[in-house]
Structure 1
Amino acid sequence: MVYFDEQSSLNVKLEEQLKASLTQIVQRGCDSLGIFQGLLLHVDEDTVNILVKSSSAYPPSFKSIPSYANCSPVDNCFPVSSAKCSSAFKQWFTTYFSAEKYIRGQVHKLDGGHVCLVFINACPEQPNNLEKVALLDEWLSVTLEKFHVEKAETNQNTLYEKLQSVANVGTWEVDLITSELTWSSQTRLIHEVDENYKPTLETAINFYKEGFDRNEISRIVSHTTETGEPWSATLELVSAKGNSVWIETHGMAEMKHGKCIRLFGTCQNVNKSVQLRLELDARRKEAEAASKERGMLLSRISHELKTPLNGITGMLQAIKFETKDNVRIRKADIALHSADRLLSLINDVLDYTSIINGEFTLKHNDFCVRSLCEDIVDVFKTKCAEKGVRLYAVLSFDEKTYVHGDAARISQVITNLLSNAVKFTAKGYISVQVTLKHQGDVPILLASVEDTGVGMSDDILSRVFRPFQNDTASASEELNGNGLGLSIVSQLVDKMGGELEVRSKVGKGTCFDIAIPIEMATLDEKSSGEIELSSEVLSVPLNILVVDDNDINRLVLGSMLEKFNYFPDEAENGEVAVQMARSRKYDIIFMDCAMPVLDGVSATKIIYQEGLMPKHGRIVAVTANTTAEDKASCSEAGMQDFLAKPVVQNDVTLQLKLTLDAKSVTV
């Protein structure tokens, strides 16, 4: 029987085949020597371990016994036979093995230890017994050597498999004589098949992605089979589980008499490196495209800057030597128009770059949507009238409809679309329709800007929202503009979570439709208590100026002031307001902000710079734009207060009270 010490490493390392062979050697030795007990011992300085014994019915009874002496080598602690041992050793042997005679074979190495055959009660004086033991030793030596070789091969294969796993590299081999294809375990893992899967050359090729990759591997294999030239390629395959896997495959051919008899090679999972390379390639292309786009943008901006700058410098030079007043005014108007174009370009470039650089953020506030739209329409009434184009406006909500959103950007979207319509419409009409509808619980601001202008072809429509994509080949310089307005509109609508559509026919006109989700405003209720002005306070005279480009807005505000018997002067834009302030000292000016010719903020700056207001005088902003930036710009210009459209009587009364109180102190 074979018997192992559970504490010995040999218990783990010896294989079943070795166990059977060792048992067979010990048993054959007992039979040839005519004895009952043979042993295979593992001997070291401290213990003698019994690995194999022929019979369990005979001593020794222990798995492990103490060594005779703590010495080395084995020959010194275990003599070769009972005929050559000392009396002390014989006593030790008799104690543990219950016998006086034995023959020990040669010492062999096994897994770094020493083993030897020992046959109990075999007579060492008989030469034929020694010869038989010598033959058994040769048999044992061959068996152990075979075991060492096989174990080394197994260890090598195990190491090879581990290295394949670490590097994610599998091997394969095709015998073209037998058409047998062999895959290593790692190759199976890469293809995500089980251990029992039997590949063929055809099924292996079918793992490659259909199309270029499968055709390429078929071409490569055919070429190598015919020429014997090795290959190296990076291709994509689809595993048995449907996963996409990029592999780097290498192959070689074994040729015999000019004919390929074997193909072999490796395949390595290179998913990570390929994905990284593809990502880097995509980023490189994006960077190149962005660089090219920026280059084109800068080139076009440079071109666009030259036109208004030329108009400004040219007209200023002409004005310098002009003596006729009417001609000088005409040239000054051209210079101002060019300056407006230059400012518009600069503002558009700043908006565009902030959006594409990710620096743009929406700033929400509560505002009156009707007042916002009315202000925009008022600005474009004059522009349309100058071109002889009719402007229709339909605003389908009441005067006190407050919403929560980015008022400045919504205004910019509608303004840009109207500017585009005015620019490309020489006759006919322009209509703007704005309404508020609900989709479920979500309020949607719907706006439509339609014109009867030149229209656009399908080619222009496909790129109309890209920067500088207008029809420069057919349109005049005036029609081309700066080419950023519609691009900004598209990005603003997208930023606000809205949708933008355009319909157009050449020679028929264009229609832009936008839908922007917003929120209804939750304004705090104003105090119901009305501000009262005593007759004594109202006895103080006030010079009041109402500045607004909208006739109705001036009428509404004027009627609120007439309640107290104050009849204000009126101005339709900032330039007129400045001229009137030069000829009369006003105690309070109600100043609209968004106006043609000269806006309210600019007019306020001029009035204060020229010292046209009395010490107690107040300029109050009246506007639909109520963002923090709007309030800040009004405050920086010198405005003392800020009224949001539509204005209410109580707010106007409060401004009168503050003005009257201030004037009473100074009088």
Structure 2
Amino acid sequence: MSFLRTFHNIVTDQTLKFEDKVQSLLTFGLKVFELDIAIISKIQQQNYSVKYVACLNNELAAGADFPLGNTYCVHTLKADKALSFHHAGNSEIATHPCYQGFQLESYIGAPIKVDGQIFGTVNFSAAKISQPFTQQHIDYIELFAQWLGAEFARRQSTYQLEQNNQTLTKLEQAAHIGTWQLDFTNNQLEWSAQTKIIQEVEPDYQPQLDSALAFYTEGSSRDTIQQAVEKAMSTGEDWDLELEITTAKNKHIWIATQGSAEFENGNCVRLFGTIQDITDAVELKNMLAQQKEAAELMLSERSKLFAKISHELRNPLNGIVGMLNAAMTEQEPQALKQQLTIALRSSDILLSIINEVLDYSKISHGELKLEPSHFILKDVFNDLTNLFTSVCANKSIQLNSNLNIAEDSAVYFDSTRLSQIVSNLLSNAIKFTEQGAVTLAVNATKAQNSSEYVDLTIEVSDTGIGMQPDTLKALFKPFNQGASNITQKYGGTGLGLSIVKELVEMMNGQVSVSSEYGHGSSFKVVLQLPVGKIQIDAAVTELEDANAEMDVSNLNVLVVDDNEINRIVMTSCLSQFNIDADIAIDGQDAVEKCRIENYDLIFMDCMMPIMDGWQATQVLRSEKLVADATVIAALTANTSEADQLKCEQAGMNLFITKPVQNAAIKNALANAIKANTA
């Protein structure tokens, strides 16, 4: 059989693997050349590595390495073609290391090239002298080398393609991107593995065009993709869309789909593109859009707050400033008293607005805490009834009170915040009632589910202007007072009812409202309060009873404040009690004065330069510069629990918030007397 026929039969045998074909060709070559060793080498730089080998006596194994210069192949590479020696000892390579070391007399080899670059060699050799090699031998080994080069190139391309496919698959999985193509020559639609994962179908699922479109959510998404496909087929325009689909497992997700068309002779023969799961990105985008909308709403609400508060603050400030300016030149005592009364009333309104804003700020930031204490429940509502009876009388309306509360019913609750809820509801009812009556109905009974709780129901109703349905829907939102004409007529911040709602919810209660436009409104609050204990401090009671007649002129008082106006206000208030107080301009000044003088009562501002009130108090207490009985009252505009605790830890006895009321000063004086007489 001819060389070419045998070679052809081996390389075209589809039952043989590449390695088997190589070994068969090497073995066949040994017979053809009548030699002992057949090698396919791989050459990298100056290293000669045996990749495949066939030996009659198995004296050489694949993987062996030699210096390239010690092999006859160095001459083959230099010649860049097939080269042969049948008697090396009688040739120009007789001095070559390969001959000197192995006495190889016969050699025929050819370079193997892959994409024009040297890969290695295929060569045959033996220690015996052979017959001279013919041109047919040269042709065979060159054909063998060319086939090897082509196979190595193909295998290398196949390997690279497989690597690329693996990389592409990994990228598809990592980015949730799948590919697809629709071949119109055979109407075959193909989905990549990742596309099938995104669509939640089985790996062997065979998509069809109609069923593929059915995955797109019916309506805008499906209509949009159909229009994009039709446009691409007619005009060649690509698409890049974000659409919603419903997967095979009925899961709603968002995808980014890109597509392109391929044309031949003016006809669309193929559509292809990608699909990517972007559900997380869309949800993030929607969340950011919602956050942006919320931020813009918050900015809008803040602008409303500033505008509203600015307007509401200016009204009482106008009353204070205007009446005080008028009082400066007023000579008639009765008129002067009236002007000062209006100024004080305006200051009360101003303080009320400020307190509302501060409460709303605390509630918004989760800083408002309930401070429970034991108290007689009915006392709170008696005080409120007495307070608002005169308010109603000033508007010529009647306050009806129906208090179904046991005289000795004590609860453990935050009396201040409970009073604030009812006060806000009564103030709101009185504000919007021009004639008729406001009714406060309270019912307190032992809870049915536990004897340790009291069920409290509070109803505040009026015969006022009432509310329309739209107003009721947004009633408890801050800054809301209904129609603009209502706001303009009645004023107010619109925070009162929103604070009521927040407080009631903090108390695990419920608040509801019913109203008929033009016929009044009714608010109902339902709370459950823990049963408390009646605690009466006899000493305090006696002291309070004696407050009106107490003599405090002998008390030695120090006022510490860095603000000159605040010092003047405090000393003026104290002068009403025949007290000529000393003053200190900061904490350090106060410490120095206490080294010289003994004080019974110190009004200590907290925020001061050089040394603040907390530091000064700690020094006074730690260095015994004041007596243990000395009462130190904190003066501060901060009202949080943390601020009160800080004052207590510094050694302060009382906590007085600015602006300071006469009642607070009187209480501080009473405590000082009590401490000094104990």
The two structures share one fold, judged by TM-score above 0.5: yes
Distance 1:631 1:84 in 2: 119
Q: Quick check: 1:417–1:449 contact (8 Å CA) kept in 2?
A: no
1:245-644 correspondence runs (5 A): 245-312=253-320, 333-356=341-364, 358=365, 360-370=367-377, 371-386=379-394, 387-397=396-406, 399=408, 401-403=410-412, 405-425=413-433, 426-435=435-444, 438=447, 443=453, 446-454=456-464, 455-472=466-483, 475=486, 479-516=490-527, 519=530, 608-612=574-578, 632-633=655-656, 637-640=665-668
Give 1:289 deviation, angstroms: 1.2
Contact 1:60/1:96 (<8 A) preserved: no
Match among 68, 73, 76 for residue 75 of structure 1:
73
Code of the aligned partner of 2:122 = C
1:599 alignment partner in structure 2: none
Q: How many residues align?
A: 566
Per-residue CA deviation, residues 306-356 of structure 1 (Å, 9 max, x unaligned), is 443444455556667778776666665555444433332222222223333
Check 1:280–1:36 CA distance in 2 against 1; reply closer, same or farther (3 A cut). same
1:112–1:259 Cα change, 3 Å: same
Give distance in 1, aligned partners of 2:356 and 2:504. Answer: 15
Q: Which consecutive residues of structure 2, in runs of 5 or more, have no partner in the other structure?
A: 1-14, 77-81, 555-568, 581-598, 602-628, 634-640, 646-652, 658-662
2:228 corresponding residue in structure 1: 220
Question: Are the structure 2 counterparts of residues 102 and 307 from structure 1 closer, same or farther at C-alpha, using a change threshold of 3 Å?
Answer: closer
Q: In 2, Cα distance between the equivalents of 1:526 and 1:611?
A: 28
Q: Distance in 2 between matches of 1:206 and 1:444?
A: 62
Give the alignment partner of residue 215 of structure 2, picking from 207, 220, 224.
Answer: 207
How far did 1:492 drift?
2.4
Write out per-residue CA displacement over residues 85-129 of structure 1, whole angstroms, 9 at most, x where no aligned residue.
Answer: 3488999899999x9766444445699852415387985445444
Q: 1:59 touches 1:96 (CA, 8 Å); kept in 2?
A: no
Aligned-partner residue type, residue 610 of structure 1:
Q
In the TM superposition, what are the counterparts of 1:234-253 in structure 2 within 5 Å?
A: 234-240=242-248, 245-253=253-261
Cross-structure match for 1:540: none
Indicate the residue corresponding to 1:6 in structure 2.
Answer: none
Q: Deviations over 1:430-460 (max 9, x none)?
A: 1231536558568476332231322222111
Q: CA deviation at 1:83?
A: 0.4
Deviations 1:191-226 (A, max 9, x none): 454543333333433334444333322332222223
Amino acid at match of 2:469: D
* Structure 1 pair 96–375 and aligned structure 2 pair: CA distance change class (3 A): farther
How far has the Cα of 1:485 moved from its partner? 0.8
| CA 1:402–1:608: 2 relative to 1, 3 Å | farther
One-letter identity of the residue aligned with 1:446: L
Q: Secondary structure at the match of 1:234?
A: strand
Q: Given the alignment, which residue of 58, 65, 86 partners 1:60?
A: 58
Partner in structure 1 of residue 50 of structure 2: 49
Output aligned runs, 1:27-46, within 5 Å: 29=29, 33=32, 39-42=38-41
- In the alignment, what sits opposite 2:591? none
1:190/1:269 contact within 8 Å kept:
yes
The residue number in structure 2 matching 1:142 is: 150
Give the Å deviation of 1:413. Answer: 1.4
Give the letter aligned to residue 183 of structure 1: W
Equivalent residue letter for 1:375:
D
Q: Are 1:250 and 1:265, in contact at CA under 8 Å, matched by a contact in 2?
A: yes
> Within 2, Cα distance between the matches of 1:236 and 1:16?
51
- % identical aligned pairs: 26
Contact persistence 2:179–2:195 (CA under 8 A) = yes
Q: Which stretches in structure 1 are left out of the alignment for 5+ residues? A: 1-14, 532-545, 547-556, 562-566, 570-576, 589-602, 622-626, 644-654, 663-667
Match of 2:191 in 1: 183
Paired residues for 1:71-150 under 5 Å: 71=69, 75-76=73-74, 80-81=83-84, 83-86=86-89, 103-108=108-113, 113-118=119-124, 123-150=131-158
Quote the Cα distance in structure 2 between the aligned partners of 1:192 and 1:267.
Answer: 13
Residue matched to 2:4: none
Give the 3 Å change call, closer, same or farther, for CA 289–35 of structure 1 in structure 2: same
> Partner of 2:655: helix, strand, or coil?
helix
The alpha-carbon deviation at position 28 of structure 1 amounts to 5.6
